[in-house]
Structure 1
Amino acid sequence: MRLCSSLLSQNVKSRLVVRPSTTIHRSDPFSNFMVTRDTEPLSLDNLQRIDSVNQAVVFSFKNTALSKVIDLQKKQDIKWDPVKYMAGKLRGIISPIQAYINISKKFSSHSLVYDSRFFQLHYFPEDHFISCFRKSKPSITVKSTKKYYLNGKVLNKNQKYFNESKILKTDEAELIKIQATMARLASRHRNNIPSEFAYLRRDLKLKVKMPFIEEWCRLNGDKAIQERNRSESKNATANTVESEAKKSLLDKFGRSTVGTAKDGYYLYIVRIFPDVDTLDEFKKEINKSVQKVADLNWDKFLTPKKGPKGKTWVEAFNDSINVKTINRILKISRFPFELGREQSKG
């Protein structure tokens, strides 16, 4: 009997779930920022701008205030970019959890999935602790480092930019000398590191998010989530059940297939800011990073190099989370949800 019970206990796994708080009313404004299992993904399909001013065209007259407003609105409609609009709806994770991660320095090396001269991409699946608190589907955060003076555009002896290739130790010593000289020459001016400027950081986010959401939708990330939402709907119709036999974006476990963009949390840490010379290359790197995540094989990606046997690195990370501490942080921040553990058979 003891052997039987121990075997059964090994098959039981716990996963983190976020549910409405029992102490804070969910009408709190923060509740609008959290995604749930049923939240619809961001999508570029059939995206139309509903504009009440355009509906009032029939009431416009020439040389009136209303007609001028409508003319202005028409000009704005011509400039309106659906990709830019949807990129603006991409969100990260809620601030209390972001602060907790930054302070506790909790991270996992397994999350690093793409590394280029421009940036690193860390990806966290939707059942990861961090992804549980994302504010959009998918979720994204763009950070920058203070690594390169003058955005790395310092020429070496061969008249090539140091950031054009991996910096060798010999080049790095030369680069440090040049940077020290430049710092003395520019000491009376503001910092020449791009990440020091707020307007460049804002511009950077848009330059990451626009190619990201376009590529993510092209790889059917939105359709995969919509398909799963339909299959899990309690009010699924007979037509929905029949269509499941034809689905190709989800595997038998309800996960995105290889080649399909994945839901979750994407953290971009940018080293070199894109400029007029490198913007096209930067966009291509963003596309490659989204494709890299889409091409991940779930079983290979989740299997840890070290750690407890029978557990993925996501499960091991989630097990390390102190639920009481997190709920205390959420309560102090008056967040209307709380974290809990749910047992399931693995």
Structure 2
Amino acid sequence: MRVHSMLLSQSVKSRLVVRPSTAIHRSDLFSNFMVTKDTMPISLNNLPRRDSVNSAKDLCVRNTTLSRFSNLQRKQEMKWDPVKYAASKLRGVISPIQAYITIGKKFSPHSLVYDSRFFQLYYFPEDHFMSCFRKSRPAVTVKSNKKFFLNGKILNKDQKYFNESRISKIDEVELSKIQTTVSRLTSRHRNNIPSEFAYLRRDLKTKVKMTFIKEWCRLNGDKAIWEYNGLKKFLSGTSPTVKGKSEKGLLDKSGRSTAGTAKDGYYLYIVKIFPDKDTLNEFKEDVSRSVQKVANLNWDKFLTPKKCPKGKSWVEAFNDSINVQTINRILEISKFPFELKREQLKN
């Protein structure tokens, strides 16, 4: 699973790691979500579904208040959705780092792995600077832009709406001109831009994350992490019961996920068009295809493109460009009890 595996071991001289700060007290509750080497992956298996209904009934069946509380929780249990629960556990990266990358426009072009009418997907492997600060395994962030006025919808000859995702490139140029003109006329009215509304953004995140985690688990992303952690324990001699786990085909000889297996790391979705009732299925299929695209990546080709410093992957080159002191200063100002360090690796 780890991208600083044996394949790149000869060229890697250092790696970025996040450690608890010795200068700042751990006061931020969200800091507890920071991923460590022992963090469990988000999974649809063995979810901790609460059995609070039976607990309330056992306390006092005759108590009217508890009885009503029990009925309410029974209804909640009936509506319990494991996919939605797992999706709610997906987090992104801590806010100071997200702002540092976004404002500075420091995205590497190699991280863009999927581009469609609906969204762009940027993927950052585990050893990437961004992934060092992720808050779940995997980490997912869903953002939106204001590119499409009225969500890109126009009227066809039959006076019926159809989505921009079905408009040709030639028509798209003309539509863009119309949007620019209309946007100037309606600049004081936000109700024409979906991304301006918080409830639509929340709904968008739910749709993306639910589809994402369902496909990610279907492609055994969680099992690959468990297998990798078990393999590490076996190699260290602490867990003799996991011998032979690497034979399942989820990991290669270097401990990285095989092609077709969902990958850990940080996924950043930049949504251009919000899905509606007409395009929701198409949108979900697009999200599933994006997860599959990352799963099918060949580590060697993905990490070492043609235009890359000799002997280094683009992830290593990006990490080398990071000023550790600047990042630690940002973390200190933001009161995050962590610090970034550059560890030297043995050749």
Separation in 1 of the partners of 2:220 and 2:325?
A: 37
Name the larger-Rg structure: 1
2:238 matched to which residue of 1?
Answer: 236
1:32 matched to which residue of 2?
Answer: 32
Mean Cα deviation higher: 18-27 or 213-222: 18-27
Separation in 1 of the partners of 2:209 and 2:116?
A: 17
How big is the shift at 1:28?
5.1
Deviations 1:258-295 (A, max 9, x none): 10000000000001101111111111111100011000
| Contact 2:144–2:195 under 8 Å retained in 1 | yes
Separation in 1 of the partners of 2:23 and 2:232?
A: 29
2:143 matched to which residue of 1?
Answer: 143
| Contact 1:156–1:171 under 8 Å retained in 2 | no
> What TM-score do you get using the length of structure 2 for normalisation?
0.89
How big is the shift at 1:235?
6.0
> What TM-score do you get using the length of structure 1 for normalisation?
0.90
Separation in 1 of the partners of 2:197 and 2:265?
A: 29
1:171 to 1:57, Cα distance in 2 relative to 1, 3 A: closer
Separation in 1 of the partners of 2:239 and 2:33?
A: 30
1:320 matched to which residue of 2?
Answer: 321
1:157 to 1:63, Cα distance in 2 relative to 1, 3 A: same
Mean Cα deviation higher: 117-126 or 325-334: 325-334
1:174 to 1:269, Cα distance in 2 relative to 1, 3 A: closer
1:342 matched to which residue of 2?
Answer: 343
SS of alignment partner, residue 191 of structure 1: helix
How big is the shift at 1:222?
0.5
The residue type paired with residue 218 of structure 2 is R
Separation in 2 of the partners of 1:77 and 1:166?
A: 43
Deviations 1:139-192 (A, max 9, x none): 0110101111111111356978461346434542255236635864x6774430
1:44 matched to which residue of 2?
Answer: 44
Deviations 1:7-29 (A, max 9, x none): xx974521111112222244653
1:36 to 1:174, Cα distance in 2 relative to 1, 3 A: closer
1:256 matched to which residue of 2?
Answer: 257
Separation in 2 of the partners of 1:327 and 1:178?
A: 42
Identity over the aligned pairs, expressed in percent?
Answer: 68
SS of alignment partner, residue 325 of structure 2: helix
Separation in 1 of the partners of 2:246 and 2:101?
A: 41
Mean Cα deviation higher: 231-240 or 213-222: 231-240
Separation in 2 of the partners of 1:199 and 1:209?
A: 15
Separation in 2 of the partners of 1:93 and 1:126?
A: 12
2:6 matched to which residue of 1?
Answer: none
| Contact 1:92–1:135 under 8 Å retained in 2 | yes
Separation in 1 of the partners of 2:134 and 2:191?
A: 33
1:191 to 1:19, Cα distance in 2 relative to 1, 3 A: same
Separation in 1 of the partners of 2:10 and 2:249?
A: 32
Separation in 2 of the partners of 1:182 and 1:125?
A: 38
| Contact 1:304–1:312 under 8 Å retained in 2 | yes
Gaps of 5+ in 2: 1-8
Q: After the TM superposition, which residues 1-346 of structure 1 pair with which residues of structure 2 at under 5 Å, given as runs? A: 11=11, 13-26=13-26, 29-61=29-61, 64-155=64-155, 161=162, 163-165=164-166, 167-169=168-170, 171-177=172-178, 180-181=181-182, 184=185, 189-233=189-233, 234=236, 236-240=238-242, 242-244=243-245, 246-345=247-346
- Output the aligned Cα RMSD: 2.4
